[in-house]
Chain A
């Protein structure tokens, strides 16, 4: 089975925020929660680079390792998901994540930190695929419909690629060869380690409903 991965090509990203807008619209994400964002380094000076960042669905995911209630699980396609019925909103994952992926809606009473929300690789959550309950908690499940993540599909320069790790790596390798200079594949090593690592673990059974 394909191992799903993201690549963002900093040579191509033009900071248009199309990925961010696609994500927000696809999943109806509230104001202030950013499953995906575009980060620009050296803004306004020579060598300026932008990259689109979201949950990278790491092979050895730190969020998963630190979660005190074990709400994370990994799908057979390598997508790291979590169960909002188990999450207690403690924020440990947010400290552990090297990409700043976990988001916490703070619009409750006293700015209460709500349950964690993050990029699902458009793969929903533990609820039944494409159900209303899944949509409301996790957004649309495009993978179940045979589609790739909305952000990468929307990307106008194809800087952001999302899909089978082998396929996106091949596309990127071809680009690097054509450019004849080093890769700008930010975060790839952090997320996926060396090629020998990263055999996806089995997904836990969906949380039981009481």
Chain B
């Protein structure tokens, strides 16, 4: 079972609730860890509560008890609660109580310093992970290549620098190899030498280590190929053929073979990154290709020993990447065309397929969804049967319901709604509704309304009447939790640990639906009805 791809996080509730003979593994899911994860950012909240009640083990590892703790503690449907269920809340250290690298959305890494020691009973994530591995009996394997240091209360934990070094030594495919702790720390100490527009260092020598910063992009944005010693500067933009590969340039990857149905998948002649010795398309590099090109002897003896029989992804010496990039200006992963026809996807070219819950039966007929899948990541996954059953759902639930983010809150929002500066800016959960849709329903701006879902769930929120949404659509933010179908969940939070602002979670009312490739949940398109709440 270990070798079979597991269930995705979006479907854990079905892992618990689905009939045992329909799932593609021996037993149903019995235990669940929420490690820095909000339950209210996942769809089908009403069913999630049932799944939570049936578990044997529920663990929350988080700086905040999170909505999971309150959801688990509140009473559910009679008969669902497993009398032997154990729930553990393990306080994790915040970012201020631990150090380490953190990657930004521009792919740059920065090094964080610890500001304070972990407060109260909180422990760092890597200490908790190590202690869990101890209980499960594979702690020695987990930390085989890591230096151990004393953490909170004198308890051992892996040294954070050696965790990043282990990542550096193994993540060759995506270029997470060049960003050593030493380089990142030198960047943090010398931010002033980096140009604020290009992110590139102009000169500069780190006083502490003598490291020359010249040419590095700030935080060595991945891909930063090769060993740290190769000094790849990081890639500020991907696939940039106007630059040399050792200057952060690149091209599309040869990841799908060299041809398909007689069509050449590699780049055409003359399309290559600047200064490449090979000016045609070429496949990814391995020991055979290197030998054929006559580049093998540019490896050191130690690199040869490590690279024999290997390719650019599995040569742990980094020698293949060094020779290919530095000596020949080529990309280790080859040089191919972008793949616009994805032949292994259900729709090789994106097609419109109407949502499972739609207000338009005509579009369901014209653009039907996929057939049901029997075992998709171990679970039956329904498409057509759900869509067919609900093709007239728009008569009862005529509004398209979508959800999204607010700038003030993050994710499930328990942490940010516990911050008074942010909580003050968004004090109430709301639904954006068009003036026409509101007027037809006798709803005025600021009034309380029920948003009702085909699942039978309903949430009590404030109406925000705005032209931002059209007449047929409503929109709700997904950062709220702490109210459940009209009831305040305050009594179910550990005392003193509730967020400042509480509100209905939109996902209490969302419906079934999963992407046919990634199993991503459907959060953007379902249906609902909105009614004025009578006091």
Contacts and interface: CB of A to CB of B under 8 A. Distances in A.
Interface of A: 15-17, 20-21, 24-25, 31-32, 43-45
A160 to B, nearest CB: 15
B interface, by DSSP: helix, strand, loop or mixed? loop
B421 interface: yes
A interface, by DSSP: helix, strand, loop or mixed? loop
A21 B466 CA distance: 25
21 contacts: A15-B407, A17-B407, A17-B408, A17-B425, A20-B425, A21-B421, A21-B422, A24-B421, A24-B424, A25-B421, A31-B420, A31-B424, A32-B424, A43-B466, A43-B468, A44-B432, A44-B466, A44-B467, A44-B468, A45-B467, A45-B468
A192 B432 CA distance: 38
Contacts of B407: 15-17
A139 to B, nearest CB: 14
Nearest to B427: A31
Interface in B409-445: 420-422, 424-425, 432
Q: What 10 A-B pairs are tightest by C-beta distance, nearest first?
A: A44-B468, A44-B466, A24-B421, A44-B467, A45-B467, A21-B421, A16-B407, A17-B425, A31-B424, A25-B421
Contacts, number: 23
B285 to A, nearest CB: 41
A16 B425 CA distance: 10
Contacts of A25: 421
Nearest to A31: B424
Interface of B: 407-408, 420-422, 424-425, 432, 466-468
A15 B468 CA distance: 15
B388 to A, nearest CB: 36
Nearest to A24: B421
A93 to B, nearest CB: 23
Nearest to A33: B424
A189 to B, nearest CB: 29
A120 B408 CA distance: 25
A25 to B, nearest CB: 5
A16 B407 CA distance: 6
Given A16-B407, A17-B408, A24-B421, 12 more contacts: A15-B407, A17-B425, A20-B425, A21-B425, A24-B424, A25-B421, A31-B420, A31-B424, A43-B466, A44-B467, A44-B468, A45-B467
A43 B430 CA distance: 15
A32 to B, nearest CB: 8
Contacts of A20: 425
Contacts of A16: 407
A16 B467 CA distance: 20
Contacts of B424: 24, 31-32
Nearest to A20: B425
Contacts of B468: 43-45
Contacts of A15: 407
Residue from B421, B422, B467 with most neighbouring chain A CB atoms (10 Å)? B421
Nearest to A25: B421
Contacts of B467: 44-45
A152 B180 CA distance: 35
Contacts of A43: 466, 468
A20 B424 CA distance: 10
A31 B427 CA distance: 11
B459 to A, nearest CB: 22
A21 B407 CA distance: 12
B431 to A, nearest CB: 13
A62 B84 CA distance: 69
